Structure 1
């Protein structure tokens, strides 16, 4: 796997007093979708600015496509795409004029504009309307189209689904999957943790400028060892005797189901025992810790340390 982004021991201090980032180290690979998670002020935006070359690290090394992004190599900048959290365009320009302007800046063919409008779900009929007539969601989609100009090899997205309705969010993640399959590296910063859970192959959690977790969802669940919940619905009129096993406490879930919390290492043994009572169980569901749960766990662990 070819690495496209490398961050080694990076720290960023403002005014000699404020440590925005502390000793971050990670790499991003081709065809990888990585979620960057952290509350406001955790250092996410500072990190993205470093990767874009807008600011320089106080210490450490940043490489994007093998180069220092702060040196302004045009070939590297052309291969990057960026969607900021708050997109801002000239309201008097049309969508087409805006995309053409950014295409010229990036020195890519302006003829790709119509394809990009369609790709991000903006009607061609809206392309020649002033941006002042656009809704927030439409401006967000135009921002995404701008970020996709020139088929970037590395894409940085900051709160990309802000202002999008559920259907457009699904379309957005379908597009992200297509880009990833084509080899694009995607770093996606978002507070919508529920959206990221099944869509990011890896999660990097930052807090107070420090990197406190890095791995797949399964990796983080294994490290955190948070309990899972197992829910069973007995067959109508029955209750498996195995549910009364010593050491497993079941509680009513309110819909006729029974639920228990089980330690990470005990999940499979319990499911194995429940399989012996399968004739008395209508449905069985295992509910794993969510990304919200994992995020809270790692933050609390850092605070306790």
Structure 2
């Protein structure tokens, strides 16, 4: 079994009375894309900083490419890591080409190759027309594209992308995900943090959900659906009141509906067999829980448990 590219074992970070990240254990394998999700303050940026070695864990263990990322021994690994922060910032008086050439040199490219590599990356993100324009004249979307190009320097083995599609139009977003898919096929690993969940799920292998520094869930979307026990939505046409009058199926009817069923995943096939055999059926649509619904389920469940614990402590205090 291959060694994970990134490994956290009961890793956490505390600042005085604040636990920014609470005992997280996770692995990221080569060629894997991990989606990192959570509200503001959930611990996503702290997790990325630990992996980058910008901060050290208060407890637990963090390893990237076999080394502690905050150690001197990890220095040479940094040229193999690409990072896009949520808010990109560059030297405004430099042109896009000069910015990328500068960063390419920092990553070990010779001067003669740095400019050529920079031009190729600018073409990849679609801003070659502005490569000789000072960055201070770039729009927000163009700055984001430049930030992506910077993260892609050297075809890194590990990419950490914090809100990478912010400011991108639909075409640029599509091109970005195509690049992520290409990097993955070349063996790169990606941690992708995003608040924009629609469209993400087809590009990730696993999802990781954080809240208030706690790891709520991690796994492939199929595994998380199963754990959450979210129903499959089946929408029918042509059955009129058949579902309402059928004692077996009426218990699955969605609220205020005569044509939509919410069926537990384990009963999906049995229900479908009943429906497809009905002579009046004209259409049927099947929809499993999407990433956003799975995400909301774990957040809601966490909040309910948290509230229950708080109420319990209050009751104990009143005794």
Q: 1:7 deviation in Å?
A: 0.5
- Residues 163 and 194, structure 2, Cα contact 8 Å, conserved in 1: yes
- 1:304 pairs with 2:304: yes
1:87–1:283 CA distance, 2 compared to 1 (3 A): same
Q: 2:156 aligns with which of 152, 155, 166?
A: 152
Q: What secondary structure is seen at the aligned counterpart in 1 of 2:12?
A: strand
1:80 equivalent in structure 2:
81
What does 1:194-233 align with in structure 2 at a 5 Å threshold? 194-233=198-237
Task: State whether structure 2 residue 134 is matched by structure 1 residue 130.
Answer: yes
The equivalent of 1:112 in structure 2 is 117
Secondary structure of residue in 1 paired with 2:104: helix
Distance between the aligned counterparts of 1:95 and 1:252, measured in 2? 54
String of CA shifts for 1:227-258, please: whole Å, max 9, x gaps.
22100122xxx74857742132356999xx82
Q: Flag the structure with higher strand content.
A: 1
Instruction: Identify the residue that residue 41 of structure 1 maps to in structure 2.
Output: 41
Q: Which residue of 2 aligns with 1:174?
A: 178
Question: Which secondary structure does the structure 1 equivalent of 2:14 belong to?
Answer: strand
How big is the shift at 1:104?
Answer: 1.4
Deviation at 1:299, TM superposition (A): 1.4
Whether contact under 8 Å (1:9, 1:24) holds in the other structure is yes
The whole-number CA distance in structure 2 between the counterparts of 1:252 and 1:13 is: 45
Contact 2:243 2:259 in 1 (8 A): no
Q: How much does 1:60 deviate? A: 0.7
Q: Please give the per-residue CA displacement for 1:197-255, whole angstroms capped at 9, x wherever unaligned.
A: 22211000011111110011110100000122100122xxx74857742132356999x
What is the correspondence of 1:1-305 to structure 2 with a 5 Å cutoff? 1-15=2-16, 17-72=17-72, 73-108=74-109, 109-110=113-114, 111-122=116-127, 124-234=128-238, 239=240, 241=242, 244-249=245-250, 250=253, 258-277=259-278, 279-305=279-305
After superposition, the CA RMSD in angstroms is 1.9
**Partner SS, residue 128 of structure 1:** coil
1:302: how far off? 1.8
Contact 2:243–2:249, Cα closer than 8 Å, also in 1 = no
Aligned 8 A contact 1:50 1:56 in 2? yes
- Given that residues 240 and 281 in structure 1 are in contact (C-alpha distance below 8 angstroms), is that contact kept between their aligned partners in structure 2? no
User: How far apart, CA to CA, are the structure 2 residues paired with 1:242 and 1:293?
Assistant: 25
1:263 Cα offset (Å): 2.0
**TM-score, structure 1 normalization:** 0.92
Offset of residue 297 of structure 1: 1.2
SS at match of 2:21: strand
**Structure 1 regions of 5+ residues with no counterpart?**
none
Q: Deviations over 1:4-40 (max 9, x none)?
A: 000011010012x110011100100011111000000
CA distance in 1, matches of 2:77, 2:58: 22
Taking the aligned partners of 2:129 and 2:37, their CA distance within structure 1 comes to 36
CA distance in 2, matches of 1:275, 1:60: 54
The separation in 2 between residues aligned to 1:195 and 1:12, in whole angstroms, is 31
